[in-house]
Amino acid sequence: MTVQETLADAVLSCKGLAARFLPGFTEANRTAQAEHLPNHVMWTLGHVSLYLHDAAGRIDGRSRPESDFGPSTGRSVDRYSDDAIGFNSKPVNDPSRYPTLARGVAIFNAACDRLAAVVSKADDATLAKKIDWFGMQIPLASLVTRVMFHVGVHTGEILDLRRALGFDRVLKM
């Protein structure tokens, strides 16, 4: 298995790993928050999608899809507002500011698919190229693992939120 195949497979696995913690979330509670846990599932799905797309853009030179992300002015309920989910954004329990749960999951899955596709087509020199990522110089291959870790961190927050909201356990041993 090549580095490209390994990275692409790992990115695609994020879809299933995150999805296992979504049962119980509905349109009615998709922006529910709990004390000391400011993020909600819709903010999390949009936030990690944004950075998955940004990582893909560092490789393929394309921007985030306008169908999924855009400015807060003239926004559609079918996409995320950049300022509602970006770095230092403050999640709010206001469903009108976020897409539906199904749309949020579709946006997340598409972000994973895009990054996996871009990585699988990248050559070794591209993956070794160093780029600036929030003030750090890192190779693009490392950026891919970094954004996957980012998905994992925020998926852990979804798990904490599930507990705080009293949902049934997902992982049963």
In order of their start, the domains of the chain are 3-164 (1.20.120.450)
Q: Does the structure show a pLDDT above 60 at 74? A: no
pLDDT, residue 73, reads 59
Distance separating alpha carbons of residues 76 and 57, to the nearest angstrom: 23
Determine how β-strand 80-81 pairs with β-strand 69-70.
parallel
Q: How confident is the model at residue 87 (pLDDT cuts 50, 70, 90)?
A: confident
pLDDT, residue 77, reads 75
Residue 154 is encoded by which pair of tokens? 């925020």
Q: For residues 142-151, give the mean pLDDT.
A: 97
How many angstroms separate the Cα of 78 from the Cα of each of 28, 46, 68, 163? 17, 12, 7, 28
pLDDT, residue 78, reads 85
Distance separating alpha carbons of residues 23 and 45, to the nearest angstrom: 14
List helix spans (H) across the chain.
Answer: 3-19, 41-60, 82-85, 101-121, 124-128, 140-164
Q: How confident is the model at residue 171 (pLDDT cuts 50, 70, 90)?
A: confident
Q: How confident is the model at residue 82 (pLDDT cuts 50, 70, 90)?
A: confident
What's this model's pTM, rounded to 2 decimal places?
0.95
Over the stretch 92-115, which tens digit does the pLDDT of each residue have?
A: 999 988 999 999 999 999 999 999
105 Cβ neighbours under 8 A, 6+ residues apart? 19, 22, 45
Q: Does the structure show a pLDDT above 80 at 72? A: no
CB 50 within 8 A of CB 58: no
